[in-house]
Structure 1
Amino acid sequence: MKRMLINATHPEELRVALVDGQRLFDLDIESSTREQKKANIYKGRITRVEPSLEAAFVDFGAERHGFLPLKEISKEYFKKSPGQIEGKINIKDVVSEGQEVIVQVDK
């Protein structure tokens, strides 16, 4: 059974968890002291490409870098067109460190 659990016992922090049975599948913590970044759009720069995770890390001005999975990268940012790539797409072949991207914060 899917349920939403809300913990608002502290006025400065709100926690919302989505669970399916005993499995947690989403957790969102909002703090009144922290600037809300979720859903905001930023111009960022790729700081690291990690082939083992099939993802890139993006500096968009926050304390921590954002995680950008390959499947979420628009083909417009690819260095090579998908037709030029044979077989499985490797993230190192399509984006590079220092490349600027537009990102939207999801979590």
Structure 2
Amino acid sequence: MDKNILIQWAIAKVIREARNALDISQVQLADFSGLSYPFISDVERGNVGVSIAALLQIAEVLKVEASELMRRIEAELKRGPQEPEKVPGRPRKMDKKTGATAASATKE
């Protein structure tokens, strides 16, 4: 297995766990860190690498020392990180009268 992929998976797990511990959304993490929501989403799905600058911004928002974040990532690597769970996006609101989702209702 490609070592870069394993690193991305470890980072994904550590960031998701720290974000969930603070009970903030990916959108909030993106807003507070100055990074984009699609980037944060890709990071947490293990799809992209992360620069040190981005890790520092994320660590600050997560109220974790950057060194502690790295320690957690290293520990996850030693455990043998697993591919992040690919969770679908949030459910769309359904119109009670028509039964259509909000997205399909706007297309009509």
Normalized per residue, the structure richer in strand is 1
Q: What is the TM-score when the length of structure 1 is the normalising length?
A: 0.23
- Larger relative contact order (CA 8 Å, sep ≥ 6): 2
Q: What TM-score do the two structures reach when normalised by structure 2?
A: 0.23
Structure whose alpha-carbon radius of gyration is higher: 1
